[in-house]
Structure 1
Amino acid sequence: MSDNVAHALSGAGGGIVSMALTYPLVSISSRLQVQKNDDSKDAYKNTVDAFVKILAKEGPRGLYSGLSSGIFGIAITNGVYYYCYEAVKAIFEKAKGQGKPMSTPESMLAGALAGSAVVFATNPIWTVNTRLTVRKGVEGKKPNALNVFLSILKNEGIAGLYSGVMAALVLVINPIIQYTVFEQLKNKIAKSKELSNFDFFLLGAFSKLCATGITYPYIVIKSRMQVSQNSEDRYTSIWDGFKKIIASEGVGGLYKGISSKITQSILTAAFLFMAKEMLFDWAVWALVLTGARKAKIAGKA
């Protein structure tokens, strides 16, 4: 068995660690993204205000609404992404021979293929997670992921589970930017020194900062499309979402919650890359122990 499975397992593990550590920021940024113009006293003015109000009204649990589906979603997302990305990467590197790293266009293509696979595999999970997190379109005092999933399926059909899928496909460019920046910087730095866990932390943070800053308006539109809306407020397309947000909220509406999202994204990516590198050897060891992978002998897998 190739290292693709080990990359998938360590990526999933790293995703779980990073999501668990940063979930309150995920919750806050999601609520800010779907909040439209609202001058009521309960409206969230910024990240700190949202944190205080959620804590006061819902307690610590409010900051972790939808955590289980978020953990499940990030594990599947990263597992599928890393498996596909490493598989495509291996094909490119094998074709080039002599262990030459991928070029920038090849990194982008690998990211696009892996990202597209992730969108179709996980969009229903993230639709459920978004509704649980922002508590819109969710019935019951103590809803859970399964109940929300079945409710969407019953009331909106399969299409409801894939709300915002087109915006999600556009957002495939986010990990493309992220992993391209990460891989290219890693390759350059690796020529002069051996990278430490802290180096991976910094590279993960910087690459995610670049990606999120560029793609944030699409993140807002995707979140709103995933939340149940009145017919008059529903976005029929990405372009329709852009027009309606700008018309009613101005350009600033496209960047609601960006401070908490960038903070969360940077920390998530930083912890993810660091944890993945730390967990990779453990994943290989576990596969060898279970007989799913041959032990590396004389420099060969």
Structure 2
Amino acid sequence: MSDNIAHAISGAAGGMLSMALTYPLITVSTRNQVQRQNNEVDERAYKGQLDAFKRILKEEGIPGLYSGLNSALFGIAITQGVYYYWYEKVKAIYEGKDKRAMSTLESMTSGAIAGVATSIFTNPIWVVNTRLTVKNEEKLAQTNARKKKTGLIAAILKIFKEEGIKGFYRGILPALILVSNPIIQYTVFEKLKEKLMKFKKELGATDFFILGALSKLAATSITFPYILIKSRMQLKQTEEERYKSPVDGFRKIVKAEGVKGLYKGIESKLLQSVLTSALLFAFKEEFYQFAVTLLVLVGARNKKI
């Protein structure tokens, strides 16, 4: 049974568990990213991460912090599963039978191939998730009262009816550009892991937690402006608000909000992404051994049949 399948299964399981534990931070981060700063004073605008958390909790209750969780769990399972499958598949080709360490260029190439495949396959899922996370907050802002939240199926049908298939691929260009995020992350991760293994024969869950946190900190800090632009492009907007391209989005944000607008919500995003990534790497290593055992048992059973 292919080893990259075990990596895909463990990556999907680790991704789902880490996202479930940190999802309230994702909600706060997403809403801060898509909230625009106009010249006029917006009474509904969040004054910061803590204010956003308190108001969501007060106005929507605990369920508000988990808006879009179902689509997010499905999305992260597919995202991590597809990513790890292709990353480990390309990595195995580069390493060959002698299992030599990949060069920096080879590591980046593996990340690029896996990242492009993942972005194309999962962009529709994240468009739906972004809409669900933000739309429920917008409904509350308009009515100032609690209303039934938009469901997953309803959101999918609404996007398809109003925007067609292309609606599911809003933000695909910045998403493809953001392939640089996992490229940076996994290159830093592999290099730090290589250095650490000179001092330790075996790495444990704590080691992978720290390596995951440091590598994601580097990747998110560098690519955050594109993360912000991608989130905004995935929303349905008026012609005036719509970004025609990542460059157009960059210009409009700087013009309306200043350079600091490119880093709106970075505090909660760093906290969320670093923590989620650290947990993902720690959980993945634990799930990996289970996945290998499971695949061996399935293979043995199929041979008997």
Which of the numbers 80, 83, 86 marks the counterpart of 2:82? Answer: 80
In the alignment, the residues of structure 2 paired with residue 55 and residue 137 of structure 1 have an alpha-carbon distance, to the nearest angstrom, of 11
Residue 290 of structure 1: SS of its match in structure 2?
helix
Which of the numbers 168, 179, 204 marks the counterpart of 1:172? Answer: 179
In the alignment, the residues of structure 1 paired with residue 150 and residue 197 of structure 2 have an alpha-carbon distance, to the nearest angstrom, of 48
TM-score by length of 2: 0.93
- How many residue pairs get matched? 293
Corresponding letter in the other structure for 2:226: Y
In the alignment, the residues of structure 1 paired with residue 177 and residue 123 of structure 2 have an alpha-carbon distance, to the nearest angstrom, of 13
Do the aligned residues in 2 keep the contact of 1:137 with 1:228 (CA within 8 Å)?
Answer: no
In the alignment, the residues of structure 2 paired with residue 6 and residue 294 of structure 1 have an alpha-carbon distance, to the nearest angstrom, of 17
Q: CA deviation at 1:293?
A: 9.4
Do the aligned residues in 2 keep the contact of 1:288 with 1:294 (CA within 8 Å)?
Answer: no
Which of the numbers 142, 145, 149 marks the counterpart of 1:142? Answer: 149
> What are the residue-to-residue correspondences of 1:147-226 with 2, within 5 Å?
147-193=154-200, 194-226=202-234
Residue 292 and residue 240 in structure 1: after superposition, are their counterparts in 2 closer, same or farther (change >3 A)? farther
Corresponding letter in the other structure for 1:72: F
Do the aligned residues in 2 keep the contact of 1:112 with 1:176 (CA within 8 Å)?
Answer: yes
| Partner of residue 5, structure 2 | 5
**Alignment root-mean-square deviation, CA:** 1.8
Q: Which runs of 5+ in 2 are unaligned?
A: 140-146
> Alignment identity in percent?
60
Corresponding letter in the other structure for 1:65: S
Q: Deviations over 1:5-44 (max 9, x none)?
A: 0000000000001100100010000000000115333211
Q: CA deviation at 1:135?
A: 1.3
> What are the residue-to-residue correspondences of 1:27-176 with 2, within 5 Å?
27-37=27-37, 39-94=41-96, 97-135=97-135, 141-176=148-183
1:18 aligns with 2:18: yes
Do the aligned residues in 1 keep the contact of 2:67 with 2:136 (CA within 8 Å)?
Answer: no
Q: Which runs of 5+ in 1 are unaligned?
A: 296-301
Q: Deviations over 1:62-99 (max 9, x none)?
A: 000000000000000000000000000000011xx422
Q: CA deviation at 1:191?
A: 2.0
Q: Deviations over 1:140-198 (max 9, x none)?
A: 83211221111111111111100000000000000000000001111121122021210
Residue 7 of structure 1: SS of its match in structure 2?
helix
TM-score by length of 1: 0.94
| Partner of residue 270, structure 1 | 278
Do the aligned residues in 2 keep the contact of 1:136 with 1:228 (CA within 8 Å)?
Answer: no
Residue 18 of structure 2: SS of its match in structure 1?
helix
Residue 137 and residue 26 in structure 1: after superposition, are their counterparts in 2 closer, same or farther (change >3 A)? closer
Q: CA deviation at 1:136?
A: 6.7
In the alignment, the residues of structure 2 paired with residue 213 and residue 286 of structure 1 have an alpha-carbon distance, to the nearest angstrom, of 37
Q: Deviations over 1:113-140 (max 9, x none)?
A: 0000000100000000001011179888
In the alignment, the residues of structure 2 paired with residue 107 and residue 293 of structure 1 have an alpha-carbon distance, to the nearest angstrom, of 36
Once structures 1 and 2 are overlaid, which stretch shifts more, 146-155 or 115-124?
146-155
Do the aligned residues in 2 keep the contact of 1:127 with 1:226 (CA within 8 Å)?
Answer: yes
Do the aligned residues in 2 keep the contact of 1:136 with 1:227 (CA within 8 Å)?
Answer: no
Residue 293 and residue 231 in structure 1: after superposition, are their counterparts in 2 closer, same or farther (change >3 A)? farther
Residue 127 of structure 1: SS of its match in structure 2?
helix
